[in-house]
Amino acid sequence: MSNTKFFCAECSTELKDEASICPQCGSNKRNIYLEVGDEITSYEQLKIKSKSKQGNRKRELKYIKGHEKSVSHGMVHKERIIDETGDKYFEVIKDIHGNVIHKCEEKLSEHRNHGSARKK
């Protein structure tokens, strides 16, 4: 978005274009005012990771909620919970209008061959 205005340098009368002579004073000197703008959008994402030790094994709880860039859908809203202690996996991904693109709720022990673990 841009906006350009031309004014006479002598009497400050607004002119129709850059080439016109001032109708008030006849001067050909110009002041040019150029207005330029842009839009910035920010997104946020919250990641929480909790670790506890139970016996010989470390147990983790991972929580992700917020916006993320998707190759196929652009900006999406993602919520994911990975609970090793409770053997739970939950993930829901929505587009910017709130429509569900993907939803998965299952036991973590059954959550195999997804994402980067998928066999090629």
Scored b (16 or more CB within 10 A) or e, 90-116 reads: bbbbbeeeeeeeeeeeeebeebeeeee
Q: How confident is the model at residue 48 (pLDDT cuts 50, 70, 90)?
A: very high
- Least confident span in 19-23, 34-38, 44-48, 103-107: 19-23
Mean per-residue pLDDT, 34-48: 90
Mean per-residue pLDDT, 40-56: 87
CA distance 53 to 60: 9
Could you tell me how many helices (H) and strands (E) the chain has, helices first? 0, 8
CA distance 69 to 100: 15
CA distance 86 to 59: 10
Q: How confident is the model at residue 2 (pLDDT cuts 50, 70, 90)?
A: low
pLDDT (0 to 100) of residue 51: 87
Neighbours of 22 (CB within 10 A): 20
